[in-house]
């Protein structure tokens, strides 16, 4: 079947198309109803089906005869450790830890927060929750205590699972003090805290609440998979919101399994036994979809890497992993290869390793800039495939459909819409924009399986954020255009969420932190272009009258505050003192114009600005 026929069938014969895809996973009870619309304009996929996600990922592969095949390879240059789990071994570890959680009272529908570094126990914890029908919410291990506390209060978990430490290149970061601080700050208090002790740092446990991972497992009985409804939540994953409060994206069990199994073939052309490596983190959606779930649904071997593209130990790190584990498919963010290119512009490290197993390189999470594309293409001579998706969708909205029909690539384009996604470029009133003209990227409802069901505990926010801005469509929040060949070009966010090294972070949340400094009268944070990380936040601040503080000292304090409240991942390193901020006459800060000035782009002076001369002042301040 050609791409065009597959795409048209997914739109024109939606139920038949997804019924066929649903046959590719093992159900406890196979669904008769494929799609059930709801009053909110969205709906539910496979509502009368039941399954267990852990069973689909692990037990189904064992039933298919892949029990002795490698399921997960752990590669940790920061601890000089490599470990392989077969499907049998991984299933046994997951079933045992699920049994340990069950003995502590964790059951279907309970929420469990997982705050872990990139170690196998992170994936085991996720799959163990799924085995019980519990809802996991993974929080990136680099987030500060405040960010963890916000998520604890929103998800109200019964249990929190963590490790004694994470390792950043050569720095050991103790997690337990961060967890204690977060629980102290949160209104909701988890009943249980499970700690996996790593040899690099031992955590002190509180007798009344804390449990050692290994001690729990030593006294546990393996748990069988608990069938759940296809529409029951599998996980909550928080993504930055423009108000500063993170949004808990809710993913279901059934649509998620069907969509990810399909995407492994469609997007990545991955076959059972292929070694698939998503060089990301389980704290992000890429880690959920393509470190833990997708590759296991497809019977692949997945690589879980605790390291960096550089400095662990050098710019040859990725090529070494590919050689050691005979990786077939690599997926990472453009930032990773920008870092490698910066350290090794002539790709001298690439020639040191045997990467002949590698078939294709995939990039996503931010715009793939043409220089990075050309560098990779020239040095690897492999297909370099961009694809575009979001935390909310869970899999590619647009891709080069390698599993159906490999298309010519166009640098800067994520190629064409994936079957199931009726992508349109529209104005805010829903009218279509001509090819070549920029507009809002939107998806005509309904969304395909695997996309978010709602925002945890706040369906009104789900509607207001995604379905109401452009009636009849899912509003992606991204702008772009479609060319005459139907190729989609994503040009960037249309809200104040910025993309730092593939991580979506809220400038609104950073502004709240900066504004809390006692010397700050007003502030604005925008994302400015950065060759390495895609975007970096820049703060413009007004000091209160009468406040006496050195600008350099203030900048250092603000950097530390953002690091403390959000984490080092925010990469907030510039806070510039200005006399005033450009505003409309109604008092709205002209963030878009500030961004354009920061990126040295041409801009139009808005007719609504209160004093155009201020733009020259901002330009001068940003040049300093």
Q: What is the mean pLDDT of residues 513-521?
A: 87
* Residue numbers of the domain that contains 540: 502-623
Read off the DSSP letter of residue 351. Answer: G
Q: Tell whether 267 and 217 lie within a shared domain.
A: yes
- Is 429 in the same domain as 520? no
Burial 493-507 (b: 16+ CB within 10 A, else e): bbbbbbbbbbbbbbb
Does 393 share its domain with 521?
no
153 occurs within a structural domain: yes
Q: Whole-angstrom Cα distance, residue 441 to residue 417?
A: 11
Using the predicted structure, report yes or no on whether residue 92 has a pLDDT greater than 60.
yes
Count of the separate structural domains present in the chain: 2
Q: Which of 445, 467, 489 marks a domain boundary? A: 467
Q: Where are the beta strands (DSSP E) in 176-280?
A: 192-196, 210-212, 228-229, 233-239, 247-252, 275-278
What token pair was written down for 489? 């070009």
Q: What's the helix, strand, coil split of the chain in %, to 5? A: 30, 25, 40
Domain boundary among 440, 467, 494: 467
Strands (E) located in 47-131? 50-51, 70-76, 81-86, 111-115
* pLDDT per position as a tens digit, 530-541: 888 888 999 999
pLDDT digits (tens, 9 = 90+) for 267-305: 999 999 999 999 999 999 999 999 999 999 999 999 999
Q: What's the CATH number where 566 sits?
A: 3.30.300.30
Give the containing element (helix H, strand E) for 138: strand 135-138
| DSSP secondary structure, 534-582, as one string | EEEEEEEEEEPTT----HHHHHHHHHHHHHHHT-GGG---EEEE-S---
Shared-domain flag, residues 517 and 460: no
Count Cβ atoms below 10 Å from residue 338 Cβ, excluding itself: 22
Mean pLDDT of 554-576: 91
Model pTM score: 0.87
> Are 35 and 99 members of one domain?
yes
Predicted pLDDT of residue 370: 78
Name beta bridge partners: 577: 541
Name the percent of the chain lying above pLDDT 90.
Answer: 72
- Name the band, by pLDDT with cuts 50, 70 and 90, for residue 585: low
Element (H, E) at 374: helix 370-380
Is residue 85, in this structure, part of any structural domain at all?
Answer: yes
DSSP state of 388: B
The dihedrals phi and psi of 361, each to the nearest 5 degrees, come to: -120, 130
535 lies in the same domain as 425: no
Cα–Cα dist 171/174, whole Å: 10
Q: Of the given ranges (146-160, 230-244, 350-364, 395-409), which has the lowest mean pLDDT?
A: 230-244
CA-based angle 406:390:560, to the nearest 5?
A: 130
Residues 224 and 122 in one domain: yes
| Cβ atoms of residues 591 and 613 within 8 Å | no
Domain edge (last residue) among 416, 448, 467: 467
Mean pLDDT confidence for 365-385: 89
Once rounded to an integer, what is the mean pLDDT over residues 102-128? 98
Q: Are 457 and 574 found together in one domain?
A: no
Residue 226 belongs to domain with CATH number: 3.40.50.12780
């Amino acid at each position: 079947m050609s791409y065009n026929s597959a795409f048209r069938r997914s739109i024109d014969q939606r139920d038949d198309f997804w019924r066929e895809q649903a046959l590719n996973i093992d159900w406890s009870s196979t669904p008769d109803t494929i799609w059930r619309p709801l009053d909110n304009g969205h709906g539910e996929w496979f509502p009368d089906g039941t399954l267990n996600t852990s069973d689909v990922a692990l037990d189904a592969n064992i039933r298919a005869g892949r029990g002795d095949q490698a399921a997960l390879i752990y590669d940790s240059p920061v601890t000089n450790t490599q470990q392989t789990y077969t499907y049998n071994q991984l299933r046994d570890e997951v079933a045992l830890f699920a049994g340990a959680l069950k003995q502590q009272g964790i059951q279907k529908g309970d929420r469990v927060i997982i705050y872990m570094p990139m170690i196998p126990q992170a994936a085991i914890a996720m799959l163990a929750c799924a085995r019980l029908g519990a809802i996991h919410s993974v929080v990136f291990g680099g987030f500060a205590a405040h960010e963890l506390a916000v998520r604890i209060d929103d998800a109200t978990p019964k249990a929190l699972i963590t490790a004694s430490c994470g390792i950043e290149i050569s720095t050991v970061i103790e997690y337990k003090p961060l967890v204690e601080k977060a629980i102290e700050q949160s209104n909701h208090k988890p009943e249980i805290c499970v700690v996996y002790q790593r040899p690099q740092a031992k955590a002190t446990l509180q007798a009344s609440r804390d449990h050692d991972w290994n001690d729990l497992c030593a006294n546990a009985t393996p748990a069988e998979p608990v069938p759940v409804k296809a529409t029951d939540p599998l996980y909550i994953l928080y993504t930055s919101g423009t108000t500063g409060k993170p949004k808990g994206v809710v993913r279901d069990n059934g649509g998620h399994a069907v969509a990810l199994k399909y995407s492994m073939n469609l997007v990545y052309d991955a076959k059972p036994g292929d070694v698939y490596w998503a060089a990301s983190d389980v704290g992000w959606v890429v880690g959920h979809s393509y470190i833990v779930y997708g590759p296991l649904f497809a019977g692949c071997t997945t690589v879980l890497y605790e390291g960096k593209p550089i400095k662990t130990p050098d710019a040859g790190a990725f090529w070494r992993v590919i050689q050691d584990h005979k990786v077939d498919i690599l997926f990472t963010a453009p930032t990773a290869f920008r870092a490698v290119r910066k350290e090794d512009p002539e790709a001298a490290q690439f020639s040191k390793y045997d990467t002949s197993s590698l078939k294709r390189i995939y990039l996503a999470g931010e715009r793939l800039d043409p220089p990075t594309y050309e560098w990779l293409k020239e040095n690897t001579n492999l297909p370099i495939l961009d694809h575009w998706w979001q935390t909310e969708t869970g899999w590619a909205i647009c891709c080069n459909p390698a599993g159906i029909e490999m298309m010519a690539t166009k640098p800067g384009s994520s190629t064409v819409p994936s079957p199931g996604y009726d992508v349109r470029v529209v104005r805010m009133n829903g009218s279509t924009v001509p090819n070549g003209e920029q507009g809002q990227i939107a998806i005509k409802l309904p969304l395909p399986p695997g996309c978010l069901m709602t925002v945890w505990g706040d369906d009104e926010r789900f509607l207001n954020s995604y379905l109401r801005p452009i009636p009849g469509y899912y509003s992606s929040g991204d702008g772009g255009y479609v060319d005459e060949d139907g190729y989609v070009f994503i040009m960037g966010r249309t809200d104040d969420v910025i993309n730092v090294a593939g991580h979506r972070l809220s400038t609104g949340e950073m502004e709240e932190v900066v504004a809390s400094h006692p010397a700050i009268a007003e502030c604005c944070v925008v994302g400015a272009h950065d060759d390495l990380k895609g975007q970096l936040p820049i703060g413009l601040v007004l000091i209160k009258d009468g406040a006496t503080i050195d600008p350099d000292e203030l900048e250092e304090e603000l950097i530390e505050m953002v690091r403390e409240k959000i984490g080092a991942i925010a990469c907030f390193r510039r806070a510039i003192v200005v006399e005033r901020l450009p505003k409309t006459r109604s008092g709205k800060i002209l963030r878009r114009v500030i961004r354009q000035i920061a990126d040295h782009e041409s801009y139009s002076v808005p007719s609504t600005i209160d004093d155009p001369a201020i733009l020259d002042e901002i330009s001068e301040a940003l040049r300093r």
